[in-house]
Amino acid sequence: MSELSHVDHEGRARMVDVSAKSETTRIAVAAGELRTTAEVVALVRADDMPKADVLSTARIAGIAGAKKTSELIPLCHQLALSSVRVEFGFTDTAITIEATAKTKGPTGVEMEALTAVAVAGLTLHDMVKAVDPAAVLTGVRLLTKEGGKHGHWERPDDAASDESEDEPVTADYAEPEFDEEERSAVVLVASTGVAAGTRVDTTGPVLVDWLSGLGFSVRGPLVYADAEIEFGLADALRFEPALVISTGGTGASPTDATPEATLALLDRELPGVAEAIRQRGTAKFPLAALSRGVAGLAGRSVIVNLPGSPGGVKDGIAVLEPLLDHLLAQVAGGGSHDNG
């Protein structure tokens, strides 16, 4: 049996000496959920709670919690975090929480990601307790980690808890899954400004609302800085959604890297889709021709890059809406190929 790293040979608690470890880029992703009522979920999505701006407050709290991890958990090392992201999603009766922590150093950031989820979840509880004091924060767990001697680790699919739903205190260790009867989609925003909190996301929420209205189960918007878009795409594809729509990072700026990061993942391109989006935009706004967005298939997931402007997103929606049902049915193996 492996020894506990934080206990010495005499059984006393200790802080692990990491001075001999090499410094590598380390990333950890954790998740959890606040189980509540359908009424609360609707209120939060509409930003209509008695304590306003629920998700923004919980996001800031989660980031602050990650930065304070070494003060809250006594044997954790102080880390220079290079980024912390906290994102939320919704089911009928839960608000899902996902946190990604990143650093470059001699030890991992698992505890920082987990703390971000826990603190964000507790903040959500505080914000909704006036409406649902029986809300339950549950399922706080590590999903993936990268870096260090052991490289990549991902939570096994068979690690689900067998405990009954009647015991809500027990964490559900299964990775979040979308309802099998619903098509799953992820919205990904590439924006250094939005990731830093200096700009408002004007495209991600539009896509989430549109896809939700079409009956998709939507994760996101996930927000990543332009320089980290490859991590964003890997995050978006983690649960093999039917559709990933990204917005931003498609221009000619030196920092615009979404097309290159997407092409590195594609098994097959769908050039006609990307070109149709460009043509629709160019008809009204000539500079739309500068968009380098691509579309294609990564496994059985369709990825489409849209520009990072509200107008570009509207053009993308107009092109994609009549295509999606047929396209996704073909990818799933059930669509007609007569006009393919």
Active site residues per annotation:
126
The answer to whether 45 and 90 are in contact (CB under 8 A) is yes
**Sheet with 301-306, edge to edge strand ranges:** 216-224, 183-190, 243-247, 301-306, 295-298, 268-269
**What is 212-250 written as a DSSP string?**
HHTTEEEEEEEEE-GGGHHHHHHHHTTT--SEEEEES--
CA triple 132-136-141, angle to 5 deg: 150
The answer to whether 161 and 171 are in contact (CB under 8 A) is yes
Helix ranges (H only) for the chain are: 38-45, 54-67, 69-72, 110-128, 192-196, 204-213, 229-236, 258-263, 271-284, 310-331
**Rounded distance between C-alpha atoms, residue 295 and residue 272, angstroms:** 8
